[in-house]
Structure 1
Amino acid sequence: MTTTLNPFDDPQHVARYADRAAQMVPAYRDIHRMVAVLIAERAPSDARILVLGAGGGLETKAFAEAHQGWTFDAVDPSAAMLDLAERNLGPLAKRVRMHHGYVDDAPAGPFAAATGLLTLHFLPYEERRAAATQVRRRLAPGAPFIVAHMSFPQRDGERELWLSRHVAYLVESGIDPADVDRARTAISTQVPVLSPAADRTILQEAGFSDVTEFFSAFTFRGWVGYA
């Protein structure tokens, strides 16, 4: 039994990541397609894309399959997740440069676009704004930064209501009730979820303009803003 405090350093958690993410996040693979559309609105056919939180390579694989000329710099603090990304990408991995670390460890760019999917909700407000600011510094003028993560009202009563809805969704998705209970505890105690208004403000404070919500499904939301 592992004693790690970080689930993304747990080989068993990492091994289940792809299937579990698709169960826990509504329209998980549709989000990847939507993000690719938003990138392609402004990015050239040979775009270089920054992927913050490589997420096992699943979104990078979707982007690479949709646009054969794009190349990627994928950043993740978990070596195990980067290894999973390389396995999931297969032959596409030759178009991806892996970086073990955080956004500060990413190349300077400039990048034609950046993504942060299911990543920023692990950071408290100030760290989240600092990360978004670092992304902004690495983007070409007008380049999109596209994020999607847990974000729901945090006022008394509303937070518990949305957590309950999330739990009910997990149960309906076929996740074991014991795992659902652990997920609820983890979200309540370890994930610094913010309100949608706060998430939008962070992107604006980091220097992004025209911040627009493009996705909303239960406890998950997505935004695009421009450098």
Structure 2
Amino acid sequence: MSHEPDRLFAQPLAQPQDFVFNEAVARVFPDMIKRSVPGYPTIVENMGVLAAQFAQPNTRLYDLGCSLGAVTQAFRRHVKTDGCRVLAVDNSAAMVERCREYLHAQNSMFQELLPAEVLEADVLALPFQPASVVALNFTLQFIPPEQRPTLLHSIRQALVPGGALILSEKLRFEDADEHALLNDLHIAFKRANGYSELEIAQKRSAIENVMKPDSLETHRQRLLDAGFSRVMPWFQCLNFASLIALP
């Protein structure tokens, strides 16, 4: 499928509205995410590699906050475990519609892929089935902080022995100088990918009330409190990281 370049914040806005995953964002999302998140393609592809190591027979693989289904596609390319099924979940109707189109296109290009279902739903209200792999790929940061522990506890309860949660997030840093430096480097990354100062500033205004990042220490402790036994970072690029949490 073709997609459009991200120009959503290229023109001056009187007052940027809070960021939402609507049809306009869905149209430009592949371009937006690659130009905004350092290491995103590496994270997504290796989520498939990791999933292949943790997938257990006859279990669900969840892609929570799936957007256009990039992680679901990686799961389907790499996981060969018998009886696994992928459930991709997002609360954006625009994202769900396009995700289904992307998966249909993937079906036409590959044979013997894992079966996958796309569901429009709130991940906080999801009744989890026994799962061996759960992906939260830049999703938790958009969930109200007070609701994050409940979701992680539900995921932990659903995970079978040998499974894993893979959690990717933008990070904030406890040390103010470290936080400022990595934030500046992230802005430099966006400039290098063609975003103007206006686009960077307006996007920041739109998203600051919607996305609430945590520190690595906060993530680790919250996961341990939810019942996970080990938490290991496996990837970091600037102020973006991905963790493996084991039941």
Same fold (TM over 0.5): yes
Partner of 2:141: 121
What secondary structure does 1:142 align onto? Answer: strand
Partner of 2:33: 21
What secondary structure does 2:160 align onto? Answer: coil
Greater Rg by CA: 2
Partner of 2:131: 111
Count of residue correspondences: 225
Deviation at 1:6, TM superposition (A): 4.4
Map 1:1-227 → 2, pairs under 5 A: 5-9=18-22, 11-44=23-56, 47-67=59-79, 70-92=84-106, 95-227=115-247
Deviation at 1:64, TM superposition (A): 0.9
Deviations 1:156-205 (A, max 9, x none): 44433332221111111222332211233345443211111111111111
Aligned partners of 1:76 and 1:100 also within 8 Å = yes
TM-score (norm 1): 0.88
What secondary structure does 1:56 align onto? Answer: coil
Distance 1:130 1:226, change over 3 A: same
- Mapped partners of 1:167, 1:154: distance in 2: 19
Deviation at 1:155, TM superposition (A): 4.2
- Identify which of structures 1 and 2 has the higher relative contact order when contacts are C-alpha pairs closer than 8 Å and 6+ apart: 2
Deviation at 1:46, TM superposition (A): 5.7
- Mapped partners of 1:65, 1:56: distance in 2: 16
Give 5+ residue unaligned stretches, structure 2.
1-7, 9-15, 108-113
Moved more, 37-46 or 134-143: 37-46
- Mapped partners of 2:185, 2:207: distance in 1: 13
- Mapped partners of 1:207, 1:32: distance in 2: 25
Distance 1:226 1:216, change over 3 A: same
Q: Kindly provide the amino acid, as one letter, of the partner of residue 77 in structure 1.
A: N
Deviations 1:98-127 (A, max 9, x none): 222222443431011110001111134322
Aligned partners of 2:128 and 2:154 also within 8 Å = no
- Mapped partners of 1:33, 1:167: distance in 2: 24
More helix by percentage? 1
Moved more, 41-50 or 24-33: 41-50
Q: Kindly provide the amino acid, as one letter, of the partner of residue 81 in structure 1.
A: M
Distance 1:32 1:47, change over 3 A: farther
Q: CA RMSD in A?
A: 2.4
Give 5+ residue unaligned stretches, structure 1.
none
Q: Kindly provide the amino acid, as one letter, of the partner of residue 86 in structure 1.
A: R
TM-score (norm 2): 0.81
